[in-house]
Amino acid sequence: MLKPSALLSWLIPCCATSSSDPSTLKALLDKNNIGILSAACCDTTAGPKDEALKASVRQAMENTGDRRAVVVETITSAQQHMRALEAQADLGQKLLIQNVVTLFQANGLSIFPLLIINGRIAFYGGVPTLALIEQRLQRQPMKVLES
């Protein structure tokens, strides 16, 4: 498996640099948080979709009583800080990064915004219905089978 920083370097090398810190990326990858990965750094039309997704996620969380943190990060910032967090990423986080890269390579910027729930890609490329978000919020994360 490639290193996460090598995978992310495929994403958006053209975007401007970001000023956020590595702790935001760490929080985005944390399976106990809900994450939104945005392309607003690279696509001026991304803002309205990002805002609609944030509003839908907030409403779904209110409806389901979910109290987790919601972390929003741009792909540029994620790429910038990946090397600093590479050694701390667990297998699930590395797989999440690999899945994002694979989707991006196949579909480009159309995969954003991307919603991460329970450390997995829940939705990408648009804003799902409130019912679908609520359903994913209530679904328990898959457990790793012990050998």
Assess contact for 69 and 36: CB atoms under 8 A.
no
pLDDT attached to residue 17: 42
Place of tokens 């609609």: 52
Q: Is the pLDDT of residue 13 over 50?
A: no
- Report if residue 54 sits inside a domain: no
- Report if residue 145 sits inside a domain: no
Assess contact for 72 and 109: CB atoms under 8 A.
no
Return d(Cα 141, Cα 118) in angstroms, integer.
Answer: 6
- Report if residue 52 sits inside a domain: no
Q: What is the span of the domain harbouring residue 109? A: 4-10+20-46+67-126
Give the pairing type, strands 34-38 and 114-117: antiparallel
pLDDT tier at 15, thresholds 50, 70, 90: very low
pLDDT attached to residue 140: 60
Q: Which of 74, 56, 71 is nearest to 133 (CA)?
A: 56
Handedness of CA 80, 7, 3, 144 (dihedral sign): positive
- Half-sphere exposure (CA, 13 Å, Cβ side) for 96? 28
How far does Cα 7 stand from its chain's mean position?
A: 15
- Report if residue 28 sits inside a domain: yes
- Report if residue 81 sits inside a domain: yes
pLDDT digits 0-9 by tens, 55-102: 999 999 999 999 999 999 998 888 887 777 777 889 988 888 889 889
